[in-house]
Amino acid sequence: MNPFDLRIGLGWDLHRLEAGRECRLGGIVFAHPTGPAGHSDGDAVIHALCDALMGAAGLDDLGSLFPDTDPRHLGQDSAEFLVAVVAAIAQRGFGVVNVDLVIATEGPRIAPERERMRKRLADLLGIDSTRVNVKGKTLEGMGALAHGAGIAVQAVCLLAPRT
């Protein structure tokens, strides 16, 4: 394989955490008193991952595919976005080699649900869960995120030509 055919992508997303919202992150539901606000279900993990995948494939970003002004996407399960993005990059001739995620939050705690999230994201991506890595990081008491105001996610991915 020509190494110049590999593509790297970077994604980042930030959502407020609000009381009374379901806490859906990485396609799984956490038992937590606050959840990410948003036009869709607010799943910042999947949004960052979609942006990484789309960036790697040269497809702009998630908002260009699913505008947050479109009433059809109100409350939508972001897992459906991810499935659509995987199809879009496949159409461009790419498959996912691996993804890595950093989830910065003081709550919910990511570590106890890490394996479940890896499995869920791997299923949605159509790859083995050993190719999906999830890391939770705390904010060390600094800034608004450390006081539960929101959640920030970074995602990186590698794509290769589909064989």
Site residues, Mg ion (CB under 5 A): 13, 47
Return the number of the residue (13 or 113) whose C-beta is nearest Mg ion: 13
129 contacts 118 by C-beta, under 8 angstroms: yes
Nearest residue (CB) to Mg ion, 13 versus 106: 13
The residue at minimum Cβ distance from Mg ion is 47
Strands 28-30 and 34-36: unpaired
Minimum distance of Mg ion from residue 95's CB (angstroms)? 24
The smaller minimum CB distance to Mg ion, of residues 57 and 155, is found at: 155
Find the DSSP H helices in the chain: 44-56, 62-65, 78-91, 114-125, 143-146
- At closest approach, how far in Å is the CB of 38 from Mg ion? 6
Cβ atoms 155, 148 nearer than 8 A: no
Partners of residue 101 on adjacent β-strands: 134, 155
Min CB(144)–Mg ion separation in Å = 17
